[in-house]
């Protein structure tokens, strides 16, 4: 009788893997549920970033300018210029600044504290609503959230121009406003006071190109939906670690491996089938998710396929280690969490971008996530990402090799 070739044996084992996976109802259900959930979550996330700062001010700028007319005249400003300033009122604010002007300081503090709501109509009119008093939502208006505000004293321009030292400006801030924004508002008030007093700032500011560090994302901020794209692919690879580890654990505990070894199949065939099936399963699902969320373009598709393939091999190696060592379902879950939780840490660099710590960059999954992020969000190319993919391949050699070694020792010991 002719002995089947290695290719035929591996193909038969792959068929067995597919049948076993289809019979594992729990992980099959979780796989489908995860695919549906992650795609639905992607399309439900906001796809725009609001880069403007909403600033409340009291009294309105028009009032402040009118009170400072005499000062402007003394400073040599022509009547036409004062009238133009009054008409503009600076109410539109600069780009990225949404100004909410309130008559009373008490209203400003109540709005920031949350006791009052501010609604703006289509014609720009502001409406204050006291929800606790039972006031209804105004129709044809949208709510404006004010997190920080500046209350200027009456006659602010005159007082500053005359050099009165008792001029007090109050900056109101919600507890959720970052300290950087609060500091910026205080600096804004001080700078405005110096300018109105006709004095130079007591410090010399450096050039703009020495202030901005790293890549300037002003006007090109990343939305939550965009950030989710690499995260979704990564999470699919992670979920498949649990599924693959479960298949391996069942075969080890039920000694299916022993039955396979009495056939013409060898340990190499068993390991090859596990490697191919686990990698292909994770790769296929990762690519499906990226396709459903529209991540592929004419320039990044090869990068994404390479990054997902490297990640699939990496997590397949982890699943071999977990599946070989697991004694029961709970033990397998514990080991899977023990191995995968550290690998999730680099994902936070996507949600909270910035300079990642050196120890985070040293984690095996960081090169893969970095490549996914740069390719899907920032349109990076092979020229900039090949070192990261090469680093990911290095980790694949370590993790995949460890998985094969542990699984081989386990099979030989049965």
The string of pLDDT tens digits covering residues 224-251 is 777 778 888 888 888 878 778 877 877 7
pLDDT of residue 273: 85
Quick one: CA torsion of 394, 395, 401, 404, rounded to 10 degrees?
-140
Instruction: Report how far Cα 55 is from the mean position of its chain's Cα atoms.
Output: 25
Buried b (16+ CB within 10 A) or exposed e, 61-99: bbbbbebbbebbeeeeeeeeebeebeeebeeebeeeebb
Token digits of residue 190: 């001080």
Q: Output the CA–CA distances (angstroms, integers) from residue 261 to 149, 401, 411, in the order listed.
A: 74, 21, 9
Give the mean pLDDT of 321-348.
Answer: 78
Give the mean pLDDT of 174-203.
Answer: 65
pLDDT of residue 50: 57
pLDDT of residue 30: 73
Token digits of residue 231: 């995260």
For the entire predicted model, the pTM comes to 0.66
Q: DSSP letters of 377-388? A: TS---HHHHHHH
Give the mean pLDDT of 275-281.
Answer: 87
Token digits of residue 95: 């780009």
Token digits of residue 216: 């300037």
pLDDT of residue 401: 85
Token digits of residue 16: 């067995």
Q: What angle, rounded to 10 degrees, do the helices at 382-413 and 224-253 form?
A: 20
The larger pLDDT score, comparing residue 294 to residue 176, is at: 294
Q: Highest-confidence range of 46-50, 77-81, 100-104, by mean pLDDT?
A: 100-104
The larger pLDDT score, comparing residue 326 to residue 88, is at: 326
Contact 317, 241 (CB under 8 A): no
CA angle 61, 172, 203 (to 5 degrees): 75
Q: State whether residue 58 is helix, strand or coil.
A: strand
CA distance 321 to 78: 80
Contact 101, 58 (CB under 8 A): yes
Q: Output the CA–CA distances (angstroms, integers) from residue 82 to 65, 67, 136, 329, in the order listed.
A: 8, 12, 40, 78
User: What are the φ/ψ torsions at residue 173 (nearest 5 degrees)?
Assistant: -145, 140
Q: State whether residue 111 is helix, strand or coil.
A: helix
Work out the percent of the chain whose per-residue pLDDT is above 90.
7
CA distance 159 to 166: 9
pLDDT of residue 354: 61
Q: Say whether pLDDT at 208 is over 50.
A: no
CA angle 327, 263, 270 (to 5 degrees): 50
Which residues make Cβ contacts (< 8 Å) with residue 266, sequence separation at least 6?
9
The model's confidence at residue 310, banded by pLDDT at 50, 70 and 90, is very high
The answer to which of 120-129, 207-216, 312-321, 381-390 has the lowest mean pLDDT is 207-216
CA distance 60 to 101: 5
Query: For 254-296, where are the alpha helices, taking DSSP H only?
Result: 256-261, 267-292
The answer to which of 141-145, 151-155, 172-176, 327-331 has the lowest mean pLDDT is 327-331
Half-sphere exposure of 317 (CA within 13 A, CB side): 21
Give the mean pLDDT of 94-103.
Answer: 73
pLDDT of residue 12: 83
């Amino acid at each position: 009788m002719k002995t089947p070739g290695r290719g035929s044996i591996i193909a038969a084992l792959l068929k067995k893997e597919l049948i076993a996976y289809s019979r594992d109802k729990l992980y099959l259900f979780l796989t489908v549920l995860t695919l549906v959930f992650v795609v639905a979550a992607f399309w439900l996330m906001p796809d725009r970033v609001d880069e403007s700062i909403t600033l409340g001010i009291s009294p309105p700028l028009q009032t402040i300018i009118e009170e400072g007319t005499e000062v402007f005249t003394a400073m040599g400003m022509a009547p036409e210029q004062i009238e133009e300033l009054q008409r503009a009122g600076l109410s539109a604010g600069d780009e990225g600044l949404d100004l909410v002007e309130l008559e009373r300081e008490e209203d400003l503090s109540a709005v920031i504290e949350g006791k009052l709501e501010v609604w703006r109509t289509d014609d720009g009119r502001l409406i204050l609503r006291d929800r606790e008093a039972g006031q209804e939502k105004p129709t044809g208006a949208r709510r404006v959230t004010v997190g920080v505000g500046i209350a200027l004293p009456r006659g602010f321009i005159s007082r500053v121009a005359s050099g009165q030292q008792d001029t007090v400006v109050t900056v109101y801030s919600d507890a959720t406003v970052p300290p950087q924004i609060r500091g910026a508002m205080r600096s804004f008030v001080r700078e405005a006071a110096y300018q109105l007093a006709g004095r130079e700032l007591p410090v010399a500011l450096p050039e703009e190109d020495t202030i901005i560090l790293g890549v300037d994302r002003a006007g090109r901020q990343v939305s939550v939906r965009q950030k989710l794209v690499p995260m979704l692919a990564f999470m699919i690879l992670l979920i498949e670690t649990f599924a693959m580890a479960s298949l391996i654990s069942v075969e080890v505990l039920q000694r299916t491996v022993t039955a396979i070894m009495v056939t013409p199949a060898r340990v190499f065939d068993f390991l090859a089938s596990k490697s191919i099936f686990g990698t292909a399963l994770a790769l296929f699902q990762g690519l499906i998710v990226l396709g459903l969320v529209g991540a592929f373009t004419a320039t990044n598709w090869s990068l994404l396929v390479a990054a997902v393939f490297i990640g699939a091999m990496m997590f397949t190696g982890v699943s071999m280690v977990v599946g070989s060592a697991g004694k029961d379902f709970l033990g397998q879950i514990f080991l899977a969490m023990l191995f995968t939780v550290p690998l999730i840490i680099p994902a936070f660099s996507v949600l909270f971008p910035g300079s990642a710590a050196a120890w985070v960059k040293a984690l095996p999954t960081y090169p893969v996530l970095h490549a996914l992020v740069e390719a899907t969000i920032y349109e990076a190319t092979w020229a900039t990402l090949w070192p990261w993919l090469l680093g990911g391949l290095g980790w694949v050699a370590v993790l995949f090799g460890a998985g094969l070694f542990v699984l081989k020792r386990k099979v030989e010991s049965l």
